[in-house]
Chain A
Amino acid sequence: MNIQALRESAYNGLWKQNPGLAQLLGLCPILAVSTSMVNAVSLGLATILVMAVANLAVSSLRNFIPYEIRIPVFILIIAALVTMVDLVFNAYLHSLYLVLGIFIPLIVTNCIVLARIEAFAAKNDALSSTIDGVVMGIGLVWVLALLGGVRELLGAGTLFSGIEMIFPEASAVSVFGDDYPGFLIAILPPGAFFALGCLIAAFNAINARMAARARRIPPAPATTAKPDAAPAAG
């Protein structure tokens, strides 16, 4: 694994192939837990952990897994890891466990975990697979954090509510003051779709603008211009 491959992996996970904005995998937890920033980031961190360890396990064992039964074995590995994360949350972060509830077991069904195993870890070495899992997970977390932050800010006028479940000394920040009436739909399920839709629109607009700029700036004299520039992402 060299620097070039690492940079490409990071760019793919954080932006180009972002699980939340481009691949659109694992929408169930994205939409369901993004009612507040702390919930969203906590589940995101649990997902990073599962993705990194699952990718590591699969890439290390890939030579022992027959191709025909790879899917059941992958699911078995993911389910075992998620059960462990579930137990650890229950034991050491109990109040957070009560809030995230059903969504920790649901990481098993989060398509992004299986997708990265199938598309990457099953074909690559342990180190680059682990890095892929972490980077894809971080890509998911920043989208979750942004979505959770926007929904919480609009819906309840606060940020970081529930932070005391992780750091007992910290407390939530009331951004718009205590008499903010709240914007209920941002917290309700439809708000998740509206907010994610806006984020994806912004993501596509930025990609289109970058592609347009790449076309406008003439390439360096040494290389010849490509006959057709890359189309805008859409």
Chain B
Amino acid sequence: MTSARYSAIRTSLRTAAIMIVFTVLFTAVMAFTYQTTRPAIEASVQEEQMRLINEVLPAESYDNLLLNDVISVTAPEALGSGGSRRVWRARKAGQPASLVLETVASDGYAGRIQIIVAVGANGTVGGIRVTAHKETPGLGDYIDPKKDRNKIKPWVSQFGGVSWSQIEAARWTVRKDGGDFDYRTGATISARAVTRAVGRAVGYAVEHGDTLFAAAAGSSL
């Protein structure tokens, strides 16, 4: 192709033009796919969020459009550092019912552990789920009920129904540290990180509950 008939400039212009044609062609193909799949992707993301929330909060306990009633909160002390967290507000007949908070534990065994916590307006925990983590497979990953060997009573189930008014702030940790929560021998660090993060999130929800419910949907605190 590098024929002596063409000068260097002409060759480079011609090659660049061919490259541009290919780039435009395949970018158009990608753009078309993006447009076609976008509604389905948005629906999948919403469905995934709803599925997670439904695991910690019974669907009959609220009647508002939960996914739209969301605010973003920046509270590094309570909900973990590194950006804002989403807080969904569940209401029944217009009255505050529960808060679903995202929180992050940075003191796990490997990386950040992302958690969602449902807290009722009266300070009772509805349930918690670990949504993303890098804890050791087969050892610390029992914090995720899908990986927990105990299917009948997974480790996270002990959080369901505990109340902020019954357990003082210092006792939201594993029994080994004088807390009120179980852990599995050999993998204390993961359980401790999750338990403490849940405690901080519940405390935050109870303390700032009125502000969190009152904020306009879509706003940032």
Q: Is the CB of B37 within 8 A of A91?
A: yes
Partner of B34 from the list A66, A87, A98 (CB cut-off 8 Å) is: A87
Interface residues of B in 141-200 (CB under 8 A from A): 149, 151
User: Using Cβ atoms and an 8 Å threshold, which residues of chain A touch B27?
Assistant: 80
Is B63 in the interface zone, CB < 8 Å from A? Answer: no
B111 to chain A, nearest CB (A): 14
Q: Which A residues lie at the B interface, using CB under 8 A? A: 35, 64-69, 72-73, 76-77, 79-80, 83-84, 87-88, 90-92, 94-95, 97-98, 155-156, 178, 182, 184, 187-188
Known A94-B44, A156-B138, A182-B138; judge A83-B30 contact (CB<8 A): yes
Q: Is B1 an interface residue (CB 8 A)?
A: yes
A94 CA to B50 CA, complexed, in Å: 13
Q: Which residues in B have some Cβ–Cβ distance to A below 8 Å?
A: 1-2, 15, 18-19, 22-23, 26-27, 29-30, 33-34, 37-38, 40-41, 44-45, 47-48, 136-139, 149, 151
Q: Are B40 and A92 in contact (CB under 8 A)?
A: yes
Name the contact of B15 in the complex, choosing from A69, A90, A188 (C-beta under 8 A).
Answer: A69
Given A66-B1, A83-B33: A188 in contact with B137 (beta carbons within 8 A): yes
Q: Which residue of B lies closest to A61 (CB)?
A: B22
Q: Contact at B40–A91, with CB atoms within 8 Å?
A: yes
By a CB distance below 8 angstroms, the chain A residues around B44 are 90-92, 94, 97
Residues of B with C-beta under 8 A to A69 = 15, 18-19
Pair A73/B19 contact, Cβ less than 8 Å? yes
Selected contact of B138 from candidates A73, A79, A184, CB within 8 Å = A184
Given A69-B19, A73-B22, A91:B30 Cβ within 8 A: no
The reply to whether B19 and A94 contact each other, CB–CB distance below 8 Å, is no
Could you say which residues of chain A place their CB within 8 Å of the CB of B138? 155-156, 182, 184, 187
Q: When chains A and B are docked, how far (Å) is the Cα of A95 from the Cα of B1?
A: 48
Q: Which residues of A contact B22 (CB under 8 A)?
A: 65, 73, 76-77
Task: Give Cα distance in the complex from A79 to B27, angstroms.
Answer: 10
Complex CA gap A73/B18 in Å reads: 9
Q: Is the CB of A94 within 8 A of B29?
A: no
Q: Which residue of A lies closest to B149 (CB)?
A: A178
A67 close to B1 (CB less than 8 A): yes
- Which residues of chain A have C-beta atoms less than 8 A from B41's C-beta? 87, 90-91, 94
B112 to nearest A CB, angstroms? 15
A66 with B18: CB separation less than 8 A: yes
Give A188's nearest chain B residue, CB to CB.
B137
Partner of B26, one of A76, A90, A91, A97: A76
Docked pose: A90 CA to B43 CA in angstroms: 10
Some 11 contacts from A to B, beta carbons below 8 A apart, are A69-B18, A69-B19, A73-B22, A77-B26, A80-B30, A87-B37, A92-B44, A178-B149, A184-B137, A184-B139, A187-B137
